[in-house]
Amino acid sequence: MMPNLNIRPFQLIVISVFGVLALVGVFVFATYERNATGSTSAGKVVIWGIIPEREMQGAMEELTRNSDYRNVSYLYVRPEAFASELANALAEGNGPDLVLISQEELASQESKLSLISFKSVPERTYRDMYATIFEIFLTNEGTYGFPLALDPMVMYYNRQTLANAGIATPPTTWAGIRGLVDTLTSRQGDTVAKSAIPFGSYGNVDNARGIISTLFLQAGSRLSERGTSGIRATFTSDAGGGSPVQSALLFYAEFADPVKPFYTWNSARESSRQAFLSGTLAFYPGYASEARSLAAANPNLDFDMARMPQPEAGGTKAVYAKAYALAITKVSRNYHGAFSAALGLTEARIMSLAAQSAGLAPAMRTLIAKPPADLYSPVFYPDALIARGWLSPAPSVTDGIFAGMMQNVTSGRFTIAQAIKYASDSIDASLR
């Protein structure tokens, strides 16, 4: 028999109120502090971001429909110019209040950003709410970013090329890709006319940084980590002493080695994106957000998107992605307004709108679980949950180091192990 609790109406009201307050506490991240005047208006907030303005337009229009955010504005800054333009603006005292960046810019720009305490953004709520990759913005004391969206790597493929070769579906493993190289490659001596996949070089491989990062992450490397003494490279200190990473780089390099049976690419070929658009490349590793631009660049290209291949066995299921988050600058003259605007833009409805407009996956786990019923979202949304990234130097610096690593391997100057060690040391030095 149930005991007679004899709860009075007043007690029921009190219990209900405390229950609601508990739920509000769980989602405190979805609230914001009022500013010093007690107003809920964000005031004037300037956002600089590396996602094109046209792709953020819908989200910004939706945000500014709320009178609290009518003075929030967004300015697109080209990724390659972002660091210098931000530094110049901050030096002149007129920098933005918020920046929309990916983890690729975080380490190099961290000194200019405000760390949001876990008192304002509870760590438990953050980890439960967002895809794992966004934990890269966390420190022991707080977060540098309000997660918005992510752009995982995918594998585009030429449907006509595969059909002509009798291939019904794209491979799901790297072993499967390698097994199709001979079938999909057309070469005359050392000259390659048609390629299976653009692996082995760097300068003419679009997204090479993301491709190599994917292979290293799948090999079990974290590539870098944040410690008490700062950020350091971990190329050779994890993943079983480095041998899986060596195997991953060797796998990538052998596709451009003329003496190997998997030779299908070289540095003399046009860029991988252009080769794919012209129909002379079967597989093109790219980002999910590229789908629309590929279709626009060649409306006659019969292509589709597949999930990024994974190791056949013994590897880590992972894919590299760019994780975009909003960060408050240290020089913001409107901290509370910036905090409010960041939360407004990362509210579920507006986040979903921004992600769909840009061809990205939303940061929230609940939104990832329900992809839109369009052509591509059901393909890349699942990979948002296994997406990973790493704290790297500025993209141009990382590209220079990775390009040198590949040159050291393909020229025979260094062994695979030596090339990785040299690259790791260079990354380490650049992060300090």
> Is 292 within a domain?
yes
> Is 395 within a domain?
yes
The SS3 call for residue 102 is strand
Retrieve residue 178's tokens. 């390698």
Report pLDDT digits (tens) over 377-407: 999 999 999 999 999 999 999 999 999 999 9
For the chain, give the mean pLDDT. Answer: 91
Whole-structure pTM value: 0.90
Q: Which residues pair with 138 in a beta bridge?
A: 143
What would the mean pLDDT of 266-292 be, rounded to a whole number? 98
Retrieve residue 348's tokens. 């579920």
> Is 146 within a domain?
no
> Is 327 within a domain?
no
Helices (H), 266-318: 272-277, 291-297
> Is 344 within a domain?
no
Where does residue 55 fall: left (phi above 0), alpha (psi -120 to 50 degrees), or beta otherwise? Answer: alpha
> Is 29 within a domain?
no
pLDDT given at position 115: 98
What would the mean pLDDT of 353-375 be, rounded to a whole number? 98
Report pLDDT digits (tens) over 104-159: 999 999 999 999 999 999 999 999 999 999 999 999 999 999 999 999 999 999 99
Report pLDDT digits (tens) over 35-58: 444 567 899 999 999 999 999 999
- Does 23 score more than 80 pLDDT? no
The number of beta carbons lying within 10 Å of the beta carbon of residue 386 is 20
> Is 190 within a domain?
yes
- Does 31 score more than 70 pLDDT? no
User: At 157, which CATH number?
Assistant: 3.40.190.10
**Alpha-carbon distance 234 to 253, whole Å?**
21
Q: What is the enclosing helix (H) or strand (E) of 80?
A: helix 79-91
> Is 280 within a domain?
yes
**Alpha-carbon distance 415 to 389, whole Å?**
26
Report the domain count for the chain: 1
The CA radius of gyration of the chain, in Å to the nearest whole number, is 24
- CA 356-329-82 angle, to 5 degrees, is 65
Contacts of 91 (CB under 8 A, 6+ apart): none
Q: State the pLDDT confidence band at 235, using cuts at 50, 70 and 90.
A: confident
Structural domain boundaries, residue 183: 152-320+390-431
**Alpha-carbon distance 263 to 258, whole Å?**
5
Contacts of 316 (CB under 8 A, 6+ apart): 217, 218, 219, 220
pLDDT given at position 337: 98
Strands 319-328 and 387-388: parallel
- Does 11 score more than 50 pLDDT? no
